[in-house]
Amino acid sequence: MMNKLLAVTGMIVGLWGSAVVWAADVSLQGQMAESSAGACPDTVARLTLVTDDYGSETSWQLTDSNFQTLYSGANYSDNTVYTEDFCLANGSYSFTIFDTYGDGICCQYGQGSYAISVDGKALVSGGSFGNSETAGFTIEDSDGLPDLSEYYKDAEGTTGYALKTALYNIIKDHSSQGYSALWSFYREQELDSYFENDGSILDIYSENPEGSDPYVFARSTDQCGSYNSEGDCYNREHSFPRSWFGGAREPMNSDIHHIFATDGYVNAKRGSYPYGEVGVTTYISSNGSKLGAAASGLGYTGTVFEPIDEFKGDVARAYFYMATRYQNVIAGWENNTTYSDAVLNGSSNQVFEPWFLNLLLAWHQQDPVSQKEKDRNEAAYGFQGNRNPFVDYPEFAGLIWGK
């Protein structure tokens, strides 16, 4: 059969596998037509969408880990319930819902909502957002987990927050090397073998993955010290700011999994602001990292810092690590600063406020694990004796927070 993409007003379009693209009429007050593709050979996930008073403002898309749009929908009626079944192979997916007016689908003008579920269990859900919201989830075999290495064998058979706790018990007893030892790690491991491949310090706030770097740091020689501008020296960036966990407290203060080599001046500009998507830029570094007012619809209205796309997944997975490694204490960090309060929700399971969790899951999906991250994770294991599970198994994020 020749593949076609059906673009039909008032219809949802989708792709099952690689053979058939089909459409189902969504104008039937929630009664979906049967798929012409027949029985699904993989996992059936169901979208339930309830529109608000302005259904025509709502649209959505479902993409896979390669950013291919598998399903999408638009042109909805007001205050109507729609359902649609997706046929999904094992893998990671992102569901993004849009509202053209910028007020989401709940709760200003109606009680709209969305949820994607498998066998009646919700994978993602929501309704209150701005212009858009992206939620990630993972489809796995019936046991909920991929095949695990020996290091993670004690996590076998678990999903959700039970999986998070199992991972905590695996990675919790790392050997802290002390703050000064980070310089040694950078000197030997935080080197550019991936972009220019010149052996300079790989700084996530100055690296230009598309061309020549604006400047380079020689290992050890250009270690901070004082600085007055970009390019002066590199230092140790706590991607999860240390003020959020109460200052220079171990083992968090020297945990290499969240501390990256960065330009000292740009690091100072970032300060302790949350990561986020910038709407109005007040500062931009040479590689395009930005500081400024949060973008409309982010779910947060303060100042945020946005790294370039190449490293958004890196910092997201560092945050998933922190939420897991320190789940025994992180619930007590929420009120340490204004910014930790904006990001953390005071729990030991979800850990993050919804706006920030959605951001992390989106960045995790949009910037998959790179070879650089894999090599760094291996080096970190040799350095302090534990691993970042979300680099080894990116599926864990969806299995924990996508449900």
The pLDDT value recorded for residue 4 is 24
CATH for 11-139 is 2.60.40
The Cα 167–Cα 188 span in angstroms is 28
Rounded (10°) CA dihedral 82, 67, 371, 138: 10
Sequence-distant contacts of 34-41: CB under 8 A, at least 24 apart: 35/85, 35/87, 37/87, 40/16, 40/85, 40/87, 41/17, 41/87
Half-sphere exposure of 270 (CA within 13 A, CB side): 26
Rg (CA), the chain: 22
The pLDDT value recorded for residue 121 is 78
The pLDDT value recorded for residue 119 is 80
Confidence of residue 13 (pLDDT cuts 50, 70, 90): very low
Q: Look at 4 and 39; give whichever has higher pLDDT.
A: 39
The pLDDT value recorded for residue 5 is 26
Q: Is the pLDDT of residue 22 over 70?
A: no
The Cα 110–Cα 57 span in angstroms is 13
Mean pLDDT of 327-352: 98
Count CB neighbours of 351 within 10 A: 27
Q: Which of 342, 357, 344 is nearest to 398 (CA)?
A: 357
Q: What is the pLDDT of residues 237-258, one digit of tens each?
A: 999 999 999 999 999 999 999 9
Confidence of residue 108 (pLDDT cuts 50, 70, 90): confident
The pLDDT value recorded for residue 7 is 27
Q: Which of 8, 20, 124 is nearest to 70 (CA)?
A: 20
Q: Give the whole-number percent of the chain exceeding pLDDT 90.
A: 77
Confidence of residue 140 (pLDDT cuts 50, 70, 90): confident
Mean pLDDT of 156-184: 96
Confidence of residue 90 (pLDDT cuts 50, 70, 90): confident
Residues 279, 296 contacting (CB under 8 angstroms): yes
The pLDDT value recorded for residue 141 is 63
Confidence of residue 38 (pLDDT cuts 50, 70, 90): low
The pLDDT value recorded for residue 11 is 30
Backbone angles phi, psi at 92, to 5 degrees: -105, 145
Q: Is the pLDDT of residue 24 over 70?
A: no
Half-sphere exposure of 313 (CA within 13 A, CB side): 18
Q: Which of 89, 128, 134, 78 is nearest to 108 (CA)?
A: 128
Half-sphere exposure of 385 (CA within 13 A, CB side): 8
Half-sphere exposure of 254 (CA within 13 A, CB side): 17
The pLDDT value recorded for residue 32 is 35
Q: Look at 341 and 25; give whichever has higher pLDDT.
A: 341
Partner residues linked to 122 by β-bridges: 117
The pLDDT value recorded for residue 138 is 83
Mean pLDDT of 273-284: 98
Query: Would you call the peptide bond into 225 cis, given omega within 30 degrees of 0 as the criterion?
Result: yes
Q: Which residue has the tokens 């999904």?
A: 88
* Global pTM value: 0.68
Residues of the chain with CATH 2.60.40: 11-139
Mean pLDDT of the chain: 88
Q: Which residues contact 39 (CB under 8 A, 6 or more apart)?
A: none
Q: Which residue has the tokens 């380079």?
A: 216
The pLDDT value recorded for residue 137 is 86
Residue 16 host element (H or E): strand 11-16
The pLDDT value recorded for residue 124 is 87
Confidence of residue 123 (pLDDT cuts 50, 70, 90): confident
Backbone angles phi, psi at 149, to 5 degrees: -75, 170
- Taking the alpha carbons of 134, 342, 340, 241 in that order, is the dihedral positive or negative? positive
The pLDDT value recorded for residue 229 is 97
Q: Which residue has the tokens 């400047």?
A: 215
Q: Is the pLDDT of residue 30 over 60?
A: no
Q: Which of 226, 353, 228 is nearest to 298 (CA)?
A: 353
State both tokens at 81: 């319930």
Q: What is the pLDDT of residues 344-383, one digit of tens each?
A: 999 999 999 999 999 999 999 899 999 999 999 999 999 9
Mean pLDDT of 325-337: 98
